[in-house]
């Protein structure tokens, strides 16, 4: 469709809710055709844990695949919300140019870091058996999971990984939750909600339910804030619908167990690297609006020597907007794709370059 026609199409859709709804439904249907459930051929590590988790069905992630054109696949590990399949909606075309995309959507009714790591290892092993080395692409909370997997999982040492991308990484609990007495710089809305959830505990009953409901409203508000003063396309609205469904259909127990996984994130000590291969860290210009003041991860990543200790072959790029009053927020890949995608493409191109491939 010619670019000059697009504004008229958007105006027509916005002024006719029925047309907008139909366009959103059509967009969702097309996504369903291209993003399909995937099961690794061997799930040895996953099945070894079947008797060590309360419920394999409740705690296992759903894996999806979207076929790409190249031989360098991307494995997406998203933040708390949305699902990985929605997190990188506006990066899908970019990733597909290099290889297939594999999405790990977190379970709704529970969570087990150990089981998640087993599934991730089985998936990477499956790709390695096809002579493919994936890029692990983490966002926010997902970066912390990837960091734990790479540092603490014995399985990770035997697997071949092409590179790692961390967008707005949350690598330790203290990035989002400080001790109660520490209120320097004010208390963030998400910080307050997460702290209340942990205080309610697993036996919190109605109290835990109320705090999870507060967290739902918090994540909804974060999305609405990002959407303010923007011209949302049918594609944006389709993704919004999916995000709200995830928030509304994740029960208290599932949300609580995901917060417990965050609580397991240990502050990087800087004595051992997270990943020794090619790595890209993308920090938004307005990270402090969500992360707490004095975030250990931000402090380390912004110090050249400490960053090099974590990622010896890594680079850090700041993601900024050229539009006044529209600063790039934490993990804003949906609303600021035009700021993220050129940087991601530059790094992927370099990673795919013959000389670098030979070095890897």
- Of 184, 156, 218, whose CA–CA distance to 295 is shortest? 184
Q: Is the pLDDT of residue 176 over 90?
A: yes
| pLDDT tens, residue by residue, 256-283 | 999 999 999 999 988 999 999 999 999 9
Domain-located, residue 292: yes
Q: How many domains does the chain contain in total?
A: 1
Does a structural domain hold residue 324? Answer: yes
163 closest CA partner among 118, 69, 98? 98
Q: What whole-number percentage of the chain has pLDDT above 70? A: 89
Residue 360 pLDDT exceeds 80? no
Q: Picking from 107-111, 237-241, 319-323, 350-354, which range would have the lowest pLDDT averaged per residue?
A: 350-354
- The residue with tokens 């493409």 is 345
Highest mean pLDDT among 45-59, 229-243, 245-259, 289-303: 289-303
Which residue range(s) make up the domain with 164? Answer: 38-177+260-359
How does pLDDT run across 96-122, given as a tens digit for each residue?
Answer: 999 999 999 999 999 999 999 999 999
Confidence (pLDDT) at 185 = 83
What pLDDT shows up at residue 58?
80
Asked, for residue 277, whether it belongs to a domain, the answer is: yes
Rounded to an integer, what is the distance from CA 37 to the centroid of its chain? 18
Asked if residue 293 belongs to a domain, the reply is yes
Q: Per residue in 213-235, pLDDT tens?
A: 888 889 888 888 888 878 888 88
In a domain, 353, yes or no: yes
pTM of the model: 0.89
Residue 197 domain flag: no
Is residue 206 assigned to a domain? no
Going 316 to 301 to 165 to 321, the CA torsion angle's sign is negative
Kindly report the CATH number assigned to the domain that includes residue 355: 3.40.50.1820
351 lies in some domain = yes
Return all residues near 184 (Cβ < 8 A) that are at least 6 apart: 293, 294
Tell me the C-alpha distance between 65 and 62, whole Å: 10
């Amino acid at each position: 469709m010619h670019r000059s026609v697009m504004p008229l199409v958007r105006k027509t859709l916005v002024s006719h809710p029925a047309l907008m709804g139909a366009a959103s439904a059509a967009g969702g249907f097309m996504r369903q055709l291209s993003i399909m459930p995937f099961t690794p051929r061997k799930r040895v590590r996953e099945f070894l844990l079947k008797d060590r988790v309360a419920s394999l069905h409740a705690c296992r992630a759903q894996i999806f695949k979207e076929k790409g054109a190249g031989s360098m696949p991307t494995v997406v590990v998203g933040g708390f919300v949305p699902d990985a399949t929605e997190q990188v909606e506006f990066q899908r075309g970019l990733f597909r140019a290099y290889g297939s995309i594999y999405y790990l959507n977190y379970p709704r009714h529970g969570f087990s870091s150990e089981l998640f790591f087993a599934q991730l290892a089985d998936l990477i092993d499956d790709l390695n058996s096809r002579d493919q080395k994936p890029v692990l692409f983490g966002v926010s909370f997902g970066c912390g999971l990837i960091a734990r997997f790479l540092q603490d999982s014995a399985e990770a040492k035997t697997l071949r990984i092409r590179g790692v991308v961390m967008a707005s990484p949350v690598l330790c609990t203290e990035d989002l939750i400080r001790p109660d007495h520490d209120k320097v710089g004010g208390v963030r809305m998400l910080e307050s909600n997460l702290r209340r959830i942990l205080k309610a505990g697993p036996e919190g009953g109605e109290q835990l339910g109320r705090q999870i409901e507060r967290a739902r409203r918090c994540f909804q508000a974060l999305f609405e804030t990002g959407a303010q003063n923007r011209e949302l396309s049918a594609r944006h609205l389709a993704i919004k619908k999916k995000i709200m469904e995830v928030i509304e259909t994740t029960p208290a127990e599932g949300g609580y167990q995901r917060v417990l996984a965050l609580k397991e994130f240990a502050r990087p000590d800087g004595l051992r690297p997270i990943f020794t291969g090619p790595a890209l860290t993308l920090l938004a210009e307005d990270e402090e609006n969500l992360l707490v003041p004095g975030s250990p991860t931000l402090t380390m990543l912004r110090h050249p020597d400490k960053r090099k200790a974590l990622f010896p072959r890594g680079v850090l790029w700041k993601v900024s907007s050229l539009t006044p009053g529209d600063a790039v927020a934490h993990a804003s890949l949906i609303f600021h794709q035009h700021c993220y995608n050129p940087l991601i493409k530059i790094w992927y191109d370099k990673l795919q370059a013959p000389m670098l491939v030979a070095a890897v």
